Amino acid sequence: MTLAASDESGSDNLQQHWLHCMAAVAGQRDKASFMQIYDYFAPRLNSYLHGLGASPALAEELVQESLLSLWRKAHQFNPDKAALSTWLFRIARNLFIDAMRRQPNWLLSELDMEEEIDPHSPSGDSHADGLKVQQAIQQLPMMQAQVVYKSYFEAKSHSEIAEELQIPLGSVKSSLRLAFQKLRVFLGQAEGNPPHGYPDTSSKGEPS
């Protein structure tokens, strides 16, 4: 299973480009820069929301709401704490969950998450190496890739995944745990992790 397109060339340039766009949106309320963000992310957010099970109409509505939120909160965006894609992911996910579950807002908001991070450690994904993340994703064993895919793109629970893949619940958890432990090495090392980013003592060590 391919989780994502393999073309990662120029990913760092793209990150830089978004920073310029966001600065222009926040500073000058620049609509042209905003629409560059729209043109790149709107069709991808649309895919994401469809995958989660939103109807076409709801997906379109939430795409607009997500990007409108970015427009209005642009001054709060801090590139040292999260990449633009992370910020948008949080916004869209939270809007989707609010829309589907009609629950009170118990998820930490995207802003709350960022405020809390230890200022002494490089954190979030601002230092993530997109190419390495992508390579690591492509090297995941099939089972781990499937479990990651079903978690992120279908928002399935561990039990639902276990049932669909006909594997024990414990295997779903260990597959997801192992995949994350491999990927988090490249997702902005924080907490003073050792260079290989291996799990700290509270994680369950398992052979991959």
Partner 1 sequence: MKTPIRRQNPLALQPNHHPDDATLVSYAAGGLATALSITVACHLAICPRCRQRVSEADALGGHLLSHLPQQSLSAEHRQAMLDALDKPAADEPAAGHRASTAIASKETSAEADDLLPAPLQHLLGERFSDLKWSTLGPGMKQVKMHVGNSNLRLFKIAPGTCMPLHSHGGSELTLVLRGSYSDEIGRFCPGDVADLDPEVEHQPIADRDQDCICLIATDAPLRFRGIVPRLLQPFFGL
Positions in 88-107 near partner 1 (CB under 8 A): 88-90, 92-93, 96-97, 101, 103-107
If one asks whether residue 54 binds partner 1 (CB under 8 A), the answer comes out as: no
Q: How many CB atoms lie within 10 A of CB 21?
A: 20
Is residue 82 within 8 Å of 124, Cβ to Cβ?
Answer: yes
Is residue 62 within 8 Å of 54, Cβ to Cβ?
Answer: yes
Of 17-46, binders to partner 1 (CB under 8 A) are 31, 34-35, 38-46
If one asks whether residue 208 binds partner 1 (CB under 8 A), the answer comes out as: no
Is residue 181 within 8 Å of 206, Cβ to Cβ?
Answer: no
Of 130-159, binders to partner 1 (CB under 8 A) are 130, 133-134, 137, 148, 150-159
Q: CA-to-CA distance for 153 and 132, rounded, in angstroms? A: 21
If one asks whether residue 172 binds partner 1 (CB under 8 A), the answer comes out as: yes
When the beta carbons of 23 and 60 are compared against partner 1, the nearer one is 60
- The enclosing H or E element of 86 equals helix 84-101
Residues 21, 33, 48, 54: which binds partner 1 (CB under 8 A)?
A: 48
Q: What is the smallest separation between the CB atom of 45 and partner 1, expressed in angstroms?
A: 7
